[in-house]
Amino acid sequence: MKRTLSLLFAALLLIALFPFVRVETARADSFNVDSIYEPYYILVNADTPAVSYRGIEKEADKRVFPASTTKILTCIIALEKGNLDDMVNVSAKAVDFGRGNSLMGLEEGDAYSLRDLLYGMMLPSGNDAAIAIAEHIAGSTDAYAELMNQKASEIGMTNSHFVTVHGKQNDNHYTTVRDMAVLTAYALNKSPKCAEFREIVGAKEYVAESGPRAITLVNSNRMLVDTPASEDLPNPISCLYPDAIGVKTGDTNAAGKCLIAAAERNGVTLIAVLFGGTLGDSEYNDGWKPAQKDRYNVKRFNDAAALFDYAYSDMNRSVSVGELVENGMPVSFDVTISNAAADDSQGGVLKAKADLSTETMLSIMQPDPNAKISDLRIEANPLFTNVYAPIGEGTVVGSVTYTCNGKPLVTANLLAERSVKEGTAQTQILPVDPEPSSDNPIPQQSSLIGGANVPTLNPDEAVVIGDSADGCGVPKNMRWLPVVLAVAFVLLVAIVIMYILYLRAQAKRRRAAARRRAKQRSRAQQNSDYRE
Per DSSP, which regions of 417-485 are E strands? 447-449
SS3 430: coil
Q: What span, in angstroms and rounded, lies between the C-alpha atoms of 499 and 509?
A: 15
Burial class (CB in 10 A: 0-12, 13-18, 19+), 81: middle
Neighbouring C-beta atoms of residue 437, cutoff 10 Å = 9
Determine the distance from the C-alpha atom of residue 292 to the mean position of all C-alpha atoms in its chain, rounded to a whole number: 31
CA–CA dist 486, 13 (Å, integer): 13
The residue from 52, 102, 113, 125 that is catalytic is: 125
Rg (CA), the chain: 34
Catalytic annotation, pick one of 52, 71, 168, 468 = 71
Closest by CA to 131, choosing from 78, 91, 73, is 91
Query: Integer distance in angstroms from the first to the last C-alpha of the chain?
Result: 46
398, 298 Cβ separation under 8 angstroms: no
Catalytic (active site) residue 447: no
CA nearest to 329, candidates 446, 460, 178, 163: 446
- 367: number of Cβ within 10 Å: 20
A 10 A CB-CB count for 4 gives: 8
Catalytic hit among 52, 68, 113, 399? 68
Q: What is the C-alpha separation between 368 and 254, in angstroms, rounded?
A: 36
Cα angle 496-489-503, degrees, rounded to a multiple of 5: 5
Please tell me the distance from the alpha carbon of residue 94 to that of residue 133, in angstroms, as a whole number: 9
Alpha carbon distance 308, 314 (integer Å): 10
Distance of alpha carbon 340 from alpha carbon 228, whole angstroms: 68
- Active-site annotation holds for 125: yes
**Where in the sequence numbering do the catalytic residues fall?**
68, 71, 125
